[in-house]
Amino acid sequence: MSNPFYLTIEVGTNQLFKCNPYENWFMTLRMTPKLKKCAKIYLTSLLLILSKSVMAEQKLLDDFKNNPADRWKFIADTVMGGISSGQLSFSHNENANFARMIGKVSTENNGGFIQFRRSIIDGLPADTKGLKLSLRGNGQKYFVHIRTKGTFLPWQYYQRSFIANEDWSETTMLLNEFRPSGVLLRKNIDPKSIKSIGIVAFGRDHEAEIDVRKISFF
């Protein structure tokens, strides 16, 4: 039994494509060089529209404008007797604002981290699936630490690693990819309960240098 429903793409009176969604193929009807060019423009425009639609679903958490120092705080393991050191600064360069954390991570004295962290007062929407970060660094492994209303102790968090390459790039991470720091935490993150997000150099002796210019959620 044939299905009468077809999707067609036309330019003027010329039908370029005819597609039956129930079949896994396209049939090209008339494709002169001029029509090929028109089809390319049409499809490029369609992809651009779809891309903008997807981007519209992302919601900005921070782009490090408008006094980011009021929102982000630098924390080192010295609060628990460690000797790691570093600093957080905010800059504008290459048409973007960004946060820069540099420092030296040492595991001496049971330490081993530096981070910059932002509080999230009201959590994130219940349907939040993940985070997207625009960043660059020195090729080292870093972490995002998420704390929730269920992380009562200082050493409790949810963690996901990433590599900060030398060039600006985007890193996407799903909330279900974050791992709890201990068995006392629930397995999955409830977005509504998120109370802070931190960018962390952690767990081994190394030099840290990382820039972050945008964090969004989706």
Lowest mean pLDDT, pick from 26-40, 72-86, 147-161, 201-215: 26-40
Which one is the CATH code of 59-217: 3.10.180.10, 2.40.50.140, 2.60.120.430, 3.50.50.60? Answer: 2.60.120.430
Q: Rounded distance, CA 120 to CA 40, Å?
A: 44
Q: Are the C-beta atoms of 86 and 102 separated by less than 8 Å?
A: yes
* 28 strand-pairing partners: 17
Residues contacting 126, CB < 8 A, separation 6+ = 191, 192
Q: Are the C-beta atoms of 137 and 166 separated by less than 8 Å?
A: yes
CA 3 from chain center: how many Å?
42
Domain locations along the chain: 7-56, 59-217
pLDDT tens, position by position, 74-132: 999 999 999 999 999 999 987 899 999 999 999 999 999 999 999 999 999 999 999 99
Q: Are the C-beta atoms of 60 and 214 separated by less than 8 Å?
A: yes
pLDDT tens, position by position, 178-203: 999 999 999 999 999 999 999 999 99
User: What dihedral do alpha carbons 171, 96, 157, 176 form, nearest 10°?
Assistant: -30
Residues contacting 40, CB < 8 A, separation 6+ = none
pLDDT value of position 45: 58
pLDDT > 90: percent of the chain = 72
pLDDT value of position 131: 98
* HSE-CB for 60 with a 13 A CA cutoff: 6
Residues contacting 183, CB < 8 A, separation 6+ = none
pLDDT value of position 24: 43
Report strand pairing: 7-11 vs 14-19.
antiparallel
pLDDT value of position 208: 98
pLDDT value of position 94: 75
pLDDT value of position 47: 57
pLDDT value of position 13: 52
The residue with tokens 């060019």 is 37
DSSP string computed for 10-32: EETTEEEEEE-TTSS-EEE----
Q: Are the C-beta atoms of 16 and 9 separated by less than 8 Å?
A: yes
